[in-house]
Amino acid sequence: MNNFKEKLAGRIFLVLAFSSISALALITVFILIQGAPIMTKVGLFKFVFGMEWAPSQEKFGIFPMLVGSVSVTLGAALLGVPIGICCSIFLAEFAPATVRNIFRPAIQLLAGIPSVVYGFWGLIFIIPVIRDYLGGPGLSILAGSIILAIMILPTIISISEVSILALPRQYKEGALALGMNQWQAIWSVMLPAAKSGIVAAVILGIGRAIGETMAVIMILGNAVALPESILDPVRTLTTNIGIEMGYAAGEHRQALFATGIVLFIIIMIINASAQYITRKK
Amino acid sequence: MAELSKNVKISTQSVNLYYGSYHALKDITFDIYDRAITAIIGPSGCGKSTLLRIFNRMNDLIPHVRIEGEILLDNLAIYGNNLEASPLRKKVGMVFQRPNVFPMSIFDNIVIGPKHHGIKDKHALAGIVEHSLNQVALWDEVKDNLKKPGLSLTPGQQQRLCIARALAVEPEVILMDESCSALDPGSTMKIEDLMLELAQKYAIIIVTHNMEQALRVSDMAAFIMIGEDKVGTLVEYAPTTKMFSYPQDQRTEDYITGRFG
């Protein structure tokens, strides 16, 4: 009887687990079916590296959006990674318990804020500041980078902190026993030892940044053109889909799905490299 | 075992140690001699490691530790308002219970200490690596694989690498906290031979559970146990052979003859 119960429970869990995997499979197949025809029609190279996006004239080149996504994500990483790693070191090694008990939930809360709120805050706060002090329209790569940097902080901080805390205490003691001070022990023994976890944290943060849509729709300006400076507006792959899907039809709609395929592949590469790095010891 | 030099290296005077309100060590007074091996022995939980970690201020890492009394290294206080722990730890090296090789190459494990103490010259560093590994009789085993990860060595080799790493910063005293307890008998023997060798140049303080080991390697033995007031005290301190043949205290005799502990 017990044996039967256990088997039944096993089956139920299997079905439930399978349903989540099949959702992934369904989505993948769906966007491939929807997007692949236009890619083959336009030509993969012309689609990815084409400079012009004019659906009404049947011009489907997403290169400016690719540049937009990459530049905003890179900017977010440049701003967010150093802050995030320093914050995780502070929490893992320096912060007294009282400070840590305030910081940790606060950072988790940061992850819980809806992205539309981030976008709105950027729109009314960051954009005027950039416009007034640095010039340009304000809606820009810089604004997007700042907002995304804040949005990826929780990912980077929590994963880096866990990987630092997971280090055996003996590493730190060993380093200190050689006469290093605490900062030297962190820098030359603990950080290298926690490297794989920290790199994974950074990559997952980047994955989150490149996939973010709502916040960046509101603050990037969404112009389909190659940016010349970080104060120029851009459109990302995600915002392209988000903005146009509502009214697109026919080939235009297919091209948006094809944009999704490109995004999907980029994110898969990012996640796979994160997995590869964490697994490799 | 050679004649004791009787040069005092570390002098411990009325040392009391508290973890918060918990009194862990009481009134410890003894002298540690240079170029000799001093063994700290006693039952589990009596404060042997705590006492050992006083000498390189490793207890500083634990919050709410308070140490009273005076500990002098070459007649200079090691605890004090303006004294930093790092310069002391350069002079007083430590080998831990389990090998704690850093996750980097054998070469980098050795040079990481000297590099932090300002040695940048590549030839000098390579010389330090060869010399340190020779001192622990590991050079011939690893000289062709210095770029290999330190963690790829056997546990016994790893522990010798850790000793080499400690020697590379040119300490004067070496603390060994049950450094053989995680090793097989063959590796243990190698490390014991090494201790005897190193005692020609350094003051060595070991903590050990193993009475035979204390008898085999140490010149002086300090027996610590928890007294009736639940506080660790130094019961007896004497040349090891004397303590093991003519223990002065009944509790020492009971412990070393295996009646408890």
Residues B109 and B102: beta-carbon distance below 8 Å? yes
Residue of A nearest to B174 (CA): A177
Among residues A200, A276, A257, the alpha carbon closest in space to that of A28 is found at A257
Q: Tell me: do A69 and A180 sit in the same domain.
A: yes
B100 and A173 within 8 Å at the Cβ level: the answer is yes
Q: Are residues A207 and A89 in the same domain?
A: yes
Tens-place pLDDT, residues A44-68: 899 999 999 998 888 899 999 999 9
pLDDT value at residue A3: 85
CA distance B100 to B86: 19
Q: Do A176 and B166 touch (CB under 8 A)?
A: no
> Is there a single domain that holds both residue A141 and residue A275?
yes
Beta bridge pairs of residue B33? B8
Count the Cβ atoms, other than its own, within 10 Å of residue B47.
23
Strands B220-226 and B232-239: antiparallel
CA B252 – CA B20 distance, rounded (Å): 29
CB A148 within 8 A of CB A214: no
Pairwise CA distance, residues B72 & B13, whole Å: 8
Inter-residue contact B72 to B255 (CB < 8 Å): no
Taking the C-alpha atoms of residue B114 and residue B121, their distance in angstroms, rounded to an integer, is 10
Two tokens at B179?
A: 């450094």
How many domains does the structure of chain A reveal? Answer: 2
Q: What is the number of other CB atoms lying within 10 angstroms of the CB of residue A2?
A: 6
Residue of B nearest to A188 (CA): B112
- CB contact (8 A) between residue B102 and residue A171: yes
The encoded tokens of residue B128 equal 């330090």
**Nearest-CA distance from B54 to chain A in Å?**
12
Average pLDDT over every residue of B5-20: 90
Beta bridge partners of B111: none
Between CA A232 and CA A78 the distance in angstroms is 18
What does the block give as tokens for A118?
């981030």
User: Sheet harboring B203-207: ordered strands across?
Assistant: B76-77, B65-73, B8-19, B22-33, B232-239, B220-226, B37-41, B203-207, B173-177, B92-95
Cross-chain Cβ contact B169/A178 below 8 Å: yes
pLDDT in tens, A183-221: 999 999 999 999 989 999 999 999 999 999 999 999 999
- The pLDDT tens digits of the residues spanning B122-136 come to 999 999 999 999 999
- Rounded CA-CA distance A248/B138 in Å is 71
| Claim to verify: residue A67 and residue A43 sit in the same structural domain | no
Is A170 contained in some domain?
A: yes
Residues A125 and A235 in one domain: yes
The angle, 0 to 180 degrees and rounded to 10, between the axes of the packed helices A141-165 and A97-112 is 130
The pLDDT assigned to B1 comes to 46
In a domain? residue A58: no
For A144-176, the pLDDT digits (tens) are 999 999 999 999 999 999 999 999 989 999 999
| Interface list for chain B against chain A, based on CB atoms closer than 8 Å | 56, 58, 61, 84-91, 93-94, 96, 98, 100, 102-104, 112-113, 116-117, 162, 165-166, 169
Does the domain at B8-256 match CATH 3.40.50.300? Answer given as yes
Q: What is the predicted ipTM?
A: 0.91
Interface of A with B in 185-214 (CB under 8 A): 188-189, 192-193
> What dihedral do alpha carbons B248, B251, B256, B261 form, nearest 10°?
-160
What span, in angstroms and rounded, lies between the C-alpha atoms of A268 and A27? 14
Q: Which of A93, A178, A280 to mutate to test the interface with B (most CBs of B within 10 A)?
A: A178
Residue A5: pLDDT above 70? yes
Q: Does A183 touch chain B (CB under 8 A)?
A: no
Nearest alpha carbon to residue A203 among A107, A270, A251: A270
In terms of pTM, does the model score above 0.90? no
User: Which residue(s) pair with A60 in the sheet?
Assistant: A53
Question: Can you tell me the distance from the alpha carbon of B135 to that of B128, in angstroms, rounded to the nearest whole number?
Answer: 10
**In chain B, where the domains are located:** 8-256
Q: Residue A71: its pLDDT value, please?
A: 95
CA distance A192 to chain B (A): 8
What is the pLDDT at residue B4? 61
H or E stretch including B31? Answer: strand B22-33
In this predicted structure, the answer to whether residue B160 has a pLDDT above a threshold of 90 is yes
**b/e code A165-175 from CB counts within 10 Å (16+ = b):** eebeebbbbbb
CB contact under 8 A, B85 and A188: no
Same domain, A119 and A234: yes
For residue B162, give how far its alpha carbon lies from the nearest alpha carbon of chain A (Å): 9
Mean confidence (pLDDT) of chain A:
92
pLDDT at B3 over 60: no
C-alpha pair distances (Å), B62 with each of A101, A173, B147, B175, B176: 19, 11, 35, 18, 19
Q: Are residues A215 and A139 in the same domain?
A: yes
DSSP 8-state assignment for residue A178: T
The predicted pLDDT at position B259 comes to 75
Q: What angle do CA A196, A80, A198 make, to 5 degrees?
A: 10
Q: Which two tokens mark B45? A: 């939980």
Is A73 part of a structural domain of the chain? Answer: yes
Pair (A141, A69) in one structural domain: yes
The per-residue pLDDT for A4 is: 87
With a pLDDT cut of 90, the percent of chain A lying above it is: 78
- Are residues A91 and A137 part of one domain? yes
| CA distances in angstroms from B209 to B180, B196, B215, listed in the order given | 10, 18, 11
Residues in chain B closer than 8 A to A178 (CB atoms): 89-90, 93, 112-113, 116, 165-166, 169
List pLDDT tens digits, range B32-86. Answer: 999 999 999 999 888 999 999 999 999 988 889 999 999 999 989 999 878 889 9
Span B187-213, average pLDDT: 92
**DSSP letter string over B230-243?**
S-EEEEEEEEHHHH
Which stretches does DSSP call E strand in chain A?
53-54, 59-60
pLDDT of residue B82: 81
Note whether A177 contacts B87, CB cutoff 8 Å. Answer: no
Indicate if the pLDDT at residue B6 is higher than 90: no
Q: Do A181 and B86 touch (CB under 8 A)?
A: yes
Question: How near does any CA of chain B get to the CA of A17, in Å?
Answer: 37
Residues of A in contact with B85 (CB under 8 A): 176
Which residue in A179, A184, A189 is closest to B102 by CB distance? A189
For residue B91, list chain A residues with Cβ-Cβ distance below 8 A. 179
Same structural domain, A92 and A45: no
Task: Please provide the average confidence, as pLDDT, over all residues in chain B.
Answer: 91
Q: What residues of chain A lie within 8 A of the CB of B113, using their CB?
A: 178-180
Q: Are A196 and A122 contained in the same domain?
A: yes
CA distance A77 to B115: 31
Q: Within a 10 A sphere around the Cβ of A24, how many other Cβ atoms?
A: 9
* Residue owning tokens 């042997």: B48
For residues A257 and A30, give the distance between their C-alpha atoms in angstroms, rounded to a whole number. 9
Which pLDDT score, from 0 to 100, does residue B5 have? 58
Chain A residue with Cα closest to B94? A177
Residue-number span of the structural domain to which A68 is assigned:
63-279
- Same domain for A121 and A207, yes or no, is yes
Q: Is the pLDDT of residue B260 over 80?
A: no
pLDDT band at B182 (very low <50, low <70, confident <90, very high): confident
> Which residues of chain A lie closer than 8 angstroms to B90, CB-CB?
178-179
- Is residue A258 in a domain? yes
CATH code for the domain of A229: 1.10.3720.10
- Determine the Cα–Cα distance for residues A139 and A244; give it in Å rounded to an integer: 19
